[in-house]
Amino acid sequence: MIRKNQNTIFAVGFLLVLLVVTWSLARPVILKLFQKNQDSEKKINEEILKAPLITSKDLYEKTKNKEKIFLFDTRSADEFKKGHLEMSENAPDNFLNPKKLNSSQVEKTSAIFIFNQGDNVFGAAQKTNELVAAGFVNAKYLQGGISAWKSEGYPLVSSDVSGAEEGKIKKINISDLARDLSASADLVQFVDARSKEKFETGHIPGASSLPLSDLEKNQNKISRVKKVVVYGNGEDEASRAAVSLFDLNFFNAYVLEGGIEAWKSAGGQIE
């Protein structure tokens, strides 16, 4: 029994010595990591505090008043497609830099607003500070990002054709279109959502060439009183354009069923 107790005491003592030695060796590393985390957190806080920002309400007022501003959405292309601010440009974070702004002919004094989903405040703040340091003195980030914008009830423009967005799509078939054209061709506007190159190879006579990527900035070329008939490479492209037009308050837009091929099959002219 005595020998067993001695062995237990020896084992416990050995473990204590081992723990002390281990702590002595590990302590500098742990403290260094702790200090590094503190320094990193301090840097993040400083970056966020230094960056100028704008609230959703103030930015909405600027868009409503049609002020000359530049909007850069740093989210992925898929997130952008699901809903973005009107007239914003999709510029993922790793592509948005002073060089890109220079190539986009953005002036140093232009009002520039950057935003992401809202879950990465440091990323938006850091990008804003980078642009300010490069001389774009009026760069700001949107406080709370897209999430805050949506929670305030401000509008977004989508080009997604899934889920609830499908309810924004109205269609018209060739027969109904022919009847409308016979009744009054002047009250129908065709919008070709394909690329300029595709448009040049052949299009419905009188159609406006408005590729999906240019739709928002050229929306002034679309009538708000005529029946707008949209077609693309296929119904998916035309439907994406129709969803965007709906979000831009064009409730008179219709997707041509079967697209330009259905038009050709029905004997429609091609220009």
pLDDT 10s digit of each residue in the chain, 271 long? Answer: 555 555 666 666 667 666 666 756 666 666 566 556 555 666 677 888 889 999 999 999 999 999 999 999 999 999 999 999 999 999 988 788 888 888 778 999 999 999 999 989 999 999 999 999 999 999 999 999 999 999 999 999 999 888 778 889 999 999 999 999 999 999 999 999 999 999 999 999 999 999 988 899 999 999 999 999 999 888 899 999 999 999 999 999 999 999 999 999 999 999 9
How much is the pLDDT for 2?
A: 55
Q: What fold does the segment set 53-151 form as a domain?
A: Oxidized Rhodanese; domain 1 (3.40.250)
Cα(73)–Cα(159) distance, integer angstroms:
15
CB 197 within 8 A of CB 263: no
The total of other beta-carbon atoms located within 10 Å of residue 111's CB is: 18
The whole-number pLDDT of residue 218 equals 93
CA atoms within 13 A on the CB side of 73: 22
- Joined tokens for residue 95: 């592509």
Residue with tokens 């702590």: 23
- Write the CA distances from 249 to 9, 13, 101, 186, 235, integer angstroms: 82, 79, 30, 21, 21
pTM: 0.77
Q: Which two tokens stand for residue 143?
A: 């406080």
Question: CA 61, 67, 72 angle in degrees (round to 5)?
Answer: 85
Rg (CA), the chain: 29
How many residues in total does the chain contain? 271
Across the strands, what pairs with 112? 70, 139
| Alpha carbon 118 to its chain's center | 12
pLDDT at position 1:
56
pLDDT of residue 5: 57
Q: What are phi and psi of 111, to 5 degrees?
A: -80, 115
What is the spatial distance between Cα 270 and Cα 90, in angstroms, rounded to a whole number? 34
User: Residue 269, Cβ neighbours under 10 Å: how many?
Assistant: 9
Per-residue model confidence (pLDDT) at position 98: 87
Q: What is the pLDDT of residue 32?
A: 65
The fold for domain 163-265 equals Oxidized Rhodanese; domain 1 (3.40.250)
Within this chain, domains 53-151 and 163-265 share the same CATH topology: yes
- Contacts of residue 121, Cβ cutoff 8 Å, sequence gap at least 6: 48
Instruction: Give DSSP secondary structure letters for the chain.
Output: -HHHHHHHHHHHHHHHHHHHHHHHHHHHHHHHHHHHHHHHHHHHHHHHHHS-EE-HHHHHHHHHTT--EEEEE-S-HHHHHH-B-TT-EE--TTT-SHHHHHHTT--TTSEEEEE-SSS-HHHHHHHHHHHHHTT-TTEEEETTHHHHHHHTT---B----SGGGGGG--EE-HHHHHHHHHHHGGGEEEEE-S-HHHHHH---TT-EE--GGGTTTTGGGS-SSSEEEEE-SSHHHHHHHHHHHHHTT-TTEEEETTHHHHHHHTT----
* Sequence spans of domains, the chain: 53-151, 163-265
pLDDT of residue 163: 78
